[in-house]
Amino acid sequence: MRGQKRLVSYQWRLREVMAEHQMFATTELIPLLHERGIDLSASQVHRLVTGTPERLSMAVLAALCDIFATDPSELITTDAVNTGVRKTATGERTPGKAAADLRPRRARITDQT
């Protein structure tokens, strides 16, 4: 399977985990994080709960796991799938074309007179 590409994705589930613990306001999380040495502003906590972070401090992740008595796999679910190999009309299997290969070519207009 060497050379096979994989599409990796993740889902941030903090809002769902909070709801499972009857916590519906993002501001309820601020003092709980503060007790564990994590000082975030209300807007930072709001973004943490309502958005999907691309980077996350391990200390924040550990604090959230402690607050909700869970492990990281409850807060972050992951998925990985193979990207398909496209079959051509001749039956040969080829990798999908890059986006740059799909761009139209510039037309040349010539004078026919």
Using pLDDT thresholds of 50, 70 and 90, give the confidence band for residue 96: low
Q: How many residues does the chain have?
A: 113
The Cα 31–Cα 100 span in angstroms is: 50
Percent of the chain's residues with pLDDT above 90: 65
H helix and E strand count, the chain: 5, 4
Summarised one tens digit per residue, pLDDT across range 24-54 is 999 999 999 999 999 999 999 999 999 999 9
Q: Which helix (H) or strand (E) holds 47?
A: helix 42-50
Long-range contacts of 105-112 (CB under 8 A, 24+ apart): none
Q: What was the pLDDT predicted at 112?
A: 79
Using pLDDT thresholds of 50, 70 and 90, give the confidence band for residue 107: confident
